[in-house]
Amino acid sequence: MSSIAHELAKKQKEISVSEFFEKNKQILGFDSLTRALITSVKEAVDNSLDACEDAGVLPDLTVRVEKMENNEYRVTVDDNGPGIVKKQVANVFARLLYGSRFHTRAQRRGQQGIGVSAVVMYSQLTTGKAAKVRSKISDEDVAYEVELILDTKKNKPDIINEDYIIWDRLHGTSFQVHVKGKYVTGKQSVFEYLKGVAIVNPHSKITFIPPEGNAVVFERASEQVPPPTKEVKPHPEGVELGELLSMAKYTESLKMTSFLNTEFSRISYRVAREICDITGVPPDQRPGKLTLEQAGAVLEAIKKVRIMSPETDCLSPIGETLIRKGLKNVLGSLKAEFYAPPVTREPKVFAGNPFIVEVGIVYGGELNREDPVQILRFANRVPLMYQQGACAITQAIEAVDWRRYGLEQRGGQGIPFGPAIILVHVASTKIPFTSESKEAVANVPEIREEIELALKACARSLKTHLNKAAKRGKAKVKFEIVQDIIPMIAEKSAKIVGKPVPDIAGTITKIMNVVWIDDDVKSEKKKQLVTVRIFNYTPKSQSFHLHMLVPYDKIDPKSLKEKPIEMRDGDKVTWEIRRLQSTDVFELGFELAGVTAEQYTENEVYVSGIDPASVIGVEVLPGDWDLEHLRITEEGPEGIEEGEEGEVDYDEGAEVMNNEE
């Protein structure tokens, strides 16, 4: 038996990480020809976007997919990033697990240093051809161009050819690779991936040239680069026992108090001493001598002391405004009925890693009412195209009872049906993916719970909209009946008794008792004609503010029927409606020059300074009625006595808010 053991021992040998992934390329997302092509584009685009944002540059990417022969495609991704210095180019593109982000606690698209190098490896495995990289930095006159492959035995780059060439751009990188793949259109395609990228990266311009050659341009909807993320120390909440012991072993701190203060975020010296007092660990004890029992006590003490929420400058959430802009910019052709106000949750922690969940919902328009809702999953601004069922995002969506929010859901669980798109974005310093292919978020309880809460908060806005739409529809029918029938009755009655037709405006006012606001957009070539009409069918005069979210730099000043009193926050325009008398009609309008119907499909109109229960046709400005005493003048707007409070017409979904939160 000993001889067999010796023989077996001789067969044991170490393999490199690149050899392992060479034999198991499906782990990296190359398990089918269709997915291999998408993965090749995805990894290159992720690298380009990260590079541009690190340099504070608005990304301008060109993605070209060319059909060669058989199942071979040539993929080229060009960017306007800062470029890569010559000595780093080969390692960045042809060395697995090489990068600067693995040990960094800051949000990035790439985390492991595998992605683009894996594409090079897959390329040489399937086509035998080298990848070509061209890079130029701003302080050099020429670009460095290299053809290379990955030596899987040594996990090192093998340079085939290199040269300096003239490139007509100040700085940037071009990555070109030949891969075996299959180009498809539809749900899981390169086009859909890039569309997703454009939605959650509205500051980017992406030009896609497919094999058929007709370029598609996703224009940027924002001119602001996301603020750079900063590296942070791990947050103490959620740190595991083994990690704490490892950190204590290798720290340079000489005392427990300084160890806790310097190695973790949000732990001050006062909190560190409080933790030591609770656990009985001497504050001056060397961290390297921390025992297993002491480490467990420290973790328990961390749960008891008051520690601030994690820092957010290590994260780059999209933000509610840009989520809305991104969705409208890319999905505007769907002519959606409603874009629910996006929800961005407060930062939370899992395993010491801060994370934020964001949710947006699009409803109606040309979306099919008989199909399951579309789910758009994103992690650190990257679309997740595969493994939907294994993802915590999908599982959280399935767990919500969408029947309470106006969508059909058979049995109260599973993916709901209806004309809706649900967007969920998880931003974290470390996304817990289920595999190296980075296509599904692991079912971490803290993340799953936050996703569910964000979904319910956003869904309440949808329910409110549907309730108001139903109420508005009934009011409109009533309005039209009153407008048509009562004048006819008055006219016929006057004719019978032989008297003049009476003024029935007051009668209509008593029946309606609302401020009716109607808006309209008409397209005229590259010009949009916007009209808003306000009918005061209340017994009192009304004063309030009317707000619109509109690109005011596109408004033709000559077309303004009423001058706004304020234009701010990039696209918010405010008009003051003063003393609109009972039964009066007020109209304002303007033209948007150089704006197509796809870019501006509907008006977003809000009011403030008026009881929301008395307004039909528009929403109250979000957060306005929380102020309750908003006044246009010191005396208060006409129709609301000083100190009088309006009653908020809450929707049914709001009743369950406290229980859900």
* Helices within 71-150 (DSSP H only): 86-93, 115-126
pLDDT band per the 50, 70, 90 thresholds, residue 549? confident
Under a CB-based contact definition with an 8 Å cutoff, are residues 180 and 126 in contact?
yes
Selected residue with higher pLDDT from 568 and 135: 135
Give the CATH number for residue 34.
Answer: 3.30.565.10
- Residue 275: the pLDDT is 92
pLDDT at 369 over 70: yes
pLDDT in tens, 350-364: 877 889 999 999 998
pLDDT at 202 over 80: yes
Strands of 24-151, DSSP E:
60-67, 72-79, 131-136, 143-151
For residues 158 and 201, state if they share a domain: yes
Selected residue with higher pLDDT from 513 and 215: 215
Which of 439, 466, 493 represents a domain boundary (last residue)?
466
For residues 209 and 351, state if they share a domain: no
pLDDT in tens, 590-619: 999 887 765 676 788 889 988 887 888 887
pLDDT band per the 50, 70, 90 thresholds, residue 661? very low
- Residue 203: the pLDDT is 92
pLDDT at 447 over 50: yes
- Domain span at residue 648? 503-656
For residues 66 and 213, state if they share a domain: yes
For residues 145 and 205, state if they share a domain: yes
Residue 619 lies in a domain: yes
Structural domain tally of the chain? 4
- Distances in whole angstroms, Cα of residue 317 to Cα of each of 135, 169, 565: 29, 31, 32
Which of 264, 279, 304 represents a domain boundary (last residue)?
304
- Residue 424: the pLDDT is 95
Residue 608 lies in a domain: yes
Residue 497 lies in a domain: no
For residues 355 and 461, state if they share a domain: yes
For residues 213 and 71, state if they share a domain: yes
Which of 466, 490, 514 represents a domain boundary (last residue)?
466
- Residue 235: the pLDDT is 81
Percent of the chain's residues with pLDDT above 90: 34
For residues 87 and 172, state if they share a domain: yes
Give the CATH number for residue 531.
Answer: 2.60.40.1170
Residue 635 lies in a domain: yes
For residues 33 and 182, state if they share a domain: yes
- Residue 572: the pLDDT is 85
Selected residue with higher pLDDT from 10 and 457: 457
- Residue 133: the pLDDT is 93
CA distance 437 to 47: 15
Q: Which residue has the tokens 């086509």?
A: 127
Q: Helix (H, G, I), strand (E, B), or coil: what is residue 603? A: coil
For residues 174 and 39, state if they share a domain: yes
Residue 328 lies in a domain: yes
Residue 625 lies in a domain: yes
pLDDT at 632 over 70: no
C-alpha closest to that of 596 among 564, 533, 551, 532: 551
- Taking residues 210-231, report their average pLDDT: 86
Give the CATH number for residue 356.
Answer: 3.30.230.10
Q: Which of 116-125, 473-482, 621-630 has the highest mean pLDDT?
A: 116-125
For residues 282 and 343, state if they share a domain: no
Angle at 198 between CA 195 and CA 201, to 5 degrees: 150
pLDDT at 97 over 80: no
CA distance 327 to 314: 25
pLDDT band per the 50, 70, 90 thresholds, residue 211? very high
Residue 223 lies in a domain: no
- Residue 337: the pLDDT is 83
Under a CB-based contact definition with an 8 Å cutoff, are residues 288 and 255 in contact?
no
Give the CATH number for residue 262.
Answer: 1.10.8.50
Residue 486 lies in a domain: no
pLDDT at 633 over 90: no
For residues 291 and 401, state if they share a domain: no
What pTM does this model have? 0.71
β-pairing verdict for 374-379 and 420-428 = parallel
For residues 543 and 604, state if they share a domain: yes
